[in-house]
Structure 1
Amino acid sequence: MTRPRQFDLIVFDWDGTLFDSTALITRCIQAACADVGVAVPSDRDASYVIGMGLIEALQHAAPGLARDRYPELGTRYRHHYFARQHEIVLFEGTLAMLQALKAREHWLGVATGKSRRGLDEALSSVQLKGLFDATRTADETASKPDPQMLLELMGHFDVAPERTLMIGDTTHDLQLALNAGTPCIGVGYGAHERAAFDAFGPLHVADSVADLHDWLARHG
Structure 2
Amino acid sequence: MHNFLFDFDSTLADTRDVAVLATQQAYAVKGLTQPSREAVVSYMGVPIEVSFAKMATETLSDTELAELYTEFRAQYHEAEKLGITLFDGIADTLTALKQRGDHLYVVSSKHSVPLQRNLDQLGLGQTFEAISGSDTVSHYKPAPDGILSLLDRFDLAADESVMIGDAKYDMQMGHNAGVATAAAMWGAADPASVKAEKPTYLLSTPAELLTI
Matched residue, 1:85: 80
Q: Tell me, yes or no, if the aligned pair for 1:22 and 1:190 is still in contact at 8 Å.
A: no
Distance 2:149 2:103 in 1: 14
- Pairwise CA distance, 1:159: 1.8
Is 2:95 the counterpart of 1:102?
A: no
Distance 1:25 1:49 in 2: 10
- Pairwise CA distance, 1:191: 5.0
Is 2:151 the counterpart of 1:145?
A: no
Matched residue, 1:58: 52
Question: 1:35-184, aligned counterparts within 5 Å?
Answer: 35-62=29-56, 64-68=58-62, 69-86=64-81, 87-125=83-121, 127-141=123-137, 142-184=139-181
One-letter amino acid of the structure 2 residue matched with residue 102 of structure 1? K
Q: Tell which deviates more after alignment, 101-110 or 77-86.
A: 77-86
Q: Tell me, yes or no, if the aligned pair for 1:52 and 1:138 is still in contact at 8 Å.
A: no
Matched residue, 1:17: 11
TM-score by length of 2: 0.91
Matched residue, 2:210: 217
Report how many aligned residue pairs link the two structures: 209
Distance 2:209 2:113 in 1: 29
Q: Tell me, yes or no, if the aligned pair for 1:145 and 1:175 is still in contact at 8 Å.
A: yes
- Pairwise CA distance, 1:63: 5.3
User: Unpaired runs of 5+ in structure 2?
Assistant: none
Measured against aligned partners, the alpha-carbon deviations of 1:29-68 in whole angstroms (never above 9, x if no partner) come to 1221222232222222111221222221212222533123
What's the secondary structure of 2:14's corresponding residue? coil
- Pairwise CA distance, 1:177: 0.6
Q: Tell which deviates more after alignment, 57-66 or 157-166.
A: 57-66
User: Unpaired runs of 5+ in structure 1?
Assistant: 1-6
- Pairwise CA distance, 1:126: 7.6
Distance 1:27 1:11 in 2: 27
Distance 1:82 1:182 in 2: 33
Q: Tell me, yes or no, if the aligned pair for 2:116 and 2:125 is still in contact at 8 Å.
A: no
TM-score by length of 1: 0.88
Distance 1:100 1:34 in 2: 43
Distance 1:76 1:127 in 2: 26
One-letter amino acid of the structure 1 residue matched with residue 211 of structure 2? R
- Pairwise CA distance, 1:133: 0.9
Q: Tell me, yes or no, if the aligned pair for 2:106 and 2:128 is still in contact at 8 Å.
A: yes
What's the secondary structure of 1:10's corresponding residue? strand
